[in-house]
């Protein structure tokens, strides 16, 4: 694995430079804003530093490459366990160690605790890397404990055992004797980021307005999320956004969105039929975005799912569209799977996860991403409009899934 830092005026510029040098297969491990210090504040603008990783064939530890080392290696600072051959990797892992500093410190401190020992005895988990009949060195045993700790942390965060096992199996393939802890950590971290893939958000249409549909179960936060996004697009990005609601089941539902529309000074319309939807898109043809709120309903209600299908078909006829399935992170895993597959039958969607503030675990983000095989676009973490929403950040979520701070 090559790990390297790139700096640019913006994140896009830094990532562009990384792709130019290392190709499109890179994984962004960390993004950091570098603020100029001292007098430089006056002369230099903020810059963004991205740390990227590139998995090499076989992904086995290799000697530090000249071009891969962004800074001279300091083996004694970088290795947590192991030396000799493992120390060579330290030059690479030193970069990631810095980025994952807090995560690693946390994991290691937990690793020292006797609790882990107890946990191991009480939990039957996958046993990584233990070769039957062979005596393992103390270091190797410690390393295995560390890997088990990562695995258990994923399960505690409700990552589906199936996916946690896959990640561990991948690690197993690349594991080498004397692999430093931070290499193991970086490897698992990278695998998980790769599993999340690229976050995708709302994009502009090539022509005419982009119609953006929000659908999902009742009460997950669809209308609130629309208000947050509409606010960001109109106030921050200065785009023209029109708001429509197809939620005619409850009077209060339309009023809720109308209120937000009034605050944002955005046009608002209730659509009762597919024809209304088509007409509205035509009427707002000079807008950048038309956000469409829909009534929350159970995925088990066939009639409502059919109506949703009709609305989607109507929208498809009149312009470019994007559909978002809004899911609450507090919903039971099994239900989430059923909801995701029901909606998959009617439209290709991207995911928005709400109410992250109401749960201590975010394993379902990874589970659903892998199950539905669609990108996560946004997450919301509170009731405040417009603040409590962010673009999905895989790095942050993976750190959390590995035991980092929320």
Catalog residues that contact ligand GTP under the rule CB under 6 A.
Answer: 218-224, 247, 253, 296, 354-355, 357-358, 380-383, 388
d(CA 2, CA 67): 9
**What is the CA 7 to chain-centroid distance, rounded?**
22
H/E run at residue 277: helix 274-283
The answer to whether the CB of 97 falls within 8 A of the CB of 29 is: no
Closer by beta carbon to ligand GTP, 84 or else 219: 219
Smallest distance from the beta carbon of 294 to ligand GTP, in angstroms?
A: 8
Closer by beta carbon to Mg ion, 231 or else 367: 231
Smallest distance from the beta carbon of 369 to Mg ion, in angstroms?
A: 24
Closer by beta carbon to ligand GTP, 91 or else 216: 216
Residue nearest to ligand GTP (CB): 296
d(CA 111, CA 91): 24
Residues that bind Mg ion (CB under 5 A): 222-223
The answer to whether the CB of 95 falls within 8 A of the CB of 391 is: no
Closer by beta carbon to ligand GTP, 151 or else 343: 343
Closer by beta carbon to Mg ion, 3 or else 315: 315
Smallest distance from the beta carbon of 216 to Mg ion, in angstroms?
A: 9
Closer by beta carbon to Mg ion, 91 or else 221: 221
Smallest distance from the beta carbon of 256 to Mg ion, in angstroms?
A: 6
d(CA 164, CA 151): 7
Nearest partner of 185 among 78, 113, 83, judged by Cα = 78
- Show the 3-state SS of 170-217: HHHHHCCCCCCHHHHHHHHHHHHHHHHCCCCCCCCCCCCCEEEEEECC
Q: What Rg, from alpha-carbon coordinates, does the chain have? A: 24
Smallest distance from the beta carbon of 356 to ligand GTP, in angstroms?
A: 7
Smallest distance from the beta carbon of 257 to ligand GTP, in angstroms?
A: 9
Smallest distance from the beta carbon of 290 to Mg ion, in angstroms?
A: 17
Closer by beta carbon to ligand GTP, 93 or else 231: 231
Closer by beta carbon to ligand GTP, 184 or else 244: 244
Q: Pick from Mg ion, ligand GTP, none: which does 224 bind, CB < 5 to 8 A by kind? A: ligand GTP
Residue nearest to Mg ion (CB): 223
Smallest distance from the beta carbon of 385 to ligand GTP, in angstroms?
A: 8
Q: Pick from ligand GTP, Mg ion, none: which does 221 bind, CB < 5 to 8 A by kind? A: ligand GTP
Q: Pick from ligand GTP, Mg ion, none: which does 274 bind, CB < 5 to 8 A by kind? A: none
Nearest partner of 249 among 219, 278, 275, judged by Cα = 219
291-267-219-363 Cα dihedral, nearest 10 degrees: 40
Q: 242: which residues sit within 8 A by CB, 6+ positions away?
A: 209, 266, 267, 268, 269, 280, 284, 287, 289, 290, 291
d(CA 87, CA 106): 22
Q: 325: which residues sit within 8 A by CB, 6+ positions away?
A: 215, 216, 339, 340, 343, 349, 350, 351, 352, 372
d(CA 227, CA 249): 19
Q: Pick from Mg ion, ligand GTP, none: which does 404 bind, CB < 5 to 8 A by kind? A: none
Closer by beta carbon to ligand GTP, 89 or else 293: 293
Smallest distance from the beta carbon of 219 to Mg ion, in angstroms?
A: 8
What are the start-end ranges of the H helices in 54-84?
Answer: 75-78
Unique residue bearing structure tokens 């600072």: 77
């Amino acid at each position: 694995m090559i790990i390297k830092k790139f700096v640019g005026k913006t994140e896009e510029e830094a990532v562009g430079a990384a792709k130019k040098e290392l190709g499109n297969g890179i994984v962004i491990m960390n993004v950091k804003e570098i603020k100029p210090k001292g007098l430089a504040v006056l002369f230099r603008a903020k810059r963004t530093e991205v740390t990227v990783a590139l998995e090499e064939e076989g992904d086995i530890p290799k000697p530090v490459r000249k071009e891969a080392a962004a800074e001279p290696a300091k083996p004694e600072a970088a290795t947590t366990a192991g030396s000799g051959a493992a120390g060579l990797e330290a030059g690479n892992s030193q970069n990631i160690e810095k980025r994952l500093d807090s995560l690693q410190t946390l994991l290691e401190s937990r690793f020292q605790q006797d609790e882990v020992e107890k946990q191991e005895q009480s939990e039957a988990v996958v046993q990584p890397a233990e070769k039957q009949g062979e005596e393992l060195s103390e270091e190797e045993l410690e390393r295995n404990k560390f890997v088990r700790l990562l695995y258990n942390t994923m399960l505690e965060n409700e990552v589906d055992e199936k996916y946690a096992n896959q990640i561990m199996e991948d690690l197993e393939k690349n594991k080498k004797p004397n692999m430093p802890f931070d290499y193991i950590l970086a490897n698992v971290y990278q695998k998980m980021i790769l599993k999340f893939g690229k976050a995708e958000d709302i994009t502009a249409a090539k022509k005419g307005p982009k119609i953006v549909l929000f659908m999902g179960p009742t009460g997950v936060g669809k209308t609130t999320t629309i208000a947050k996004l509409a606010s960001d697009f109109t106030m921050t990005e200065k785009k023209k956004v029109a708001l429509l609601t197809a939620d005619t089941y409850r009077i209060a539902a339309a009023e809720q969105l109308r209120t937000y529309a009034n605050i944002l000074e955005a046009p608002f319309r209730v659509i009762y039929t597919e024809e209304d939807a088509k007409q509205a898109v035509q009427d707002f043809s000079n807008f950048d975005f038309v956000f469409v709120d829909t009534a929350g309903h159970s995925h088990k209600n066939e009639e409502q799912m059919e109506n949703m299908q009709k609305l989607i078909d109507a929208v498809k006829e009149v312009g470019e569209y994007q559909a978002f399935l809004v899911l609450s992170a507090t919903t039971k895993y099994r239900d989430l799977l059923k909801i995701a597959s029901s909606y998959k039958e009617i439209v290709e969607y991207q995911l928005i996860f709400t109410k992250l503030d109401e749960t201590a675990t975010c394993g379902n983000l990874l589970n659903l991403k892998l199950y539905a095989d669609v990108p996560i676009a946004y997450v919301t973490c509170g009731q405040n409009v417009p603040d409590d929403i962010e673009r999905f950040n895989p790095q942050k979520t993976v750190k959390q899934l590995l035991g980092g701070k929320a």
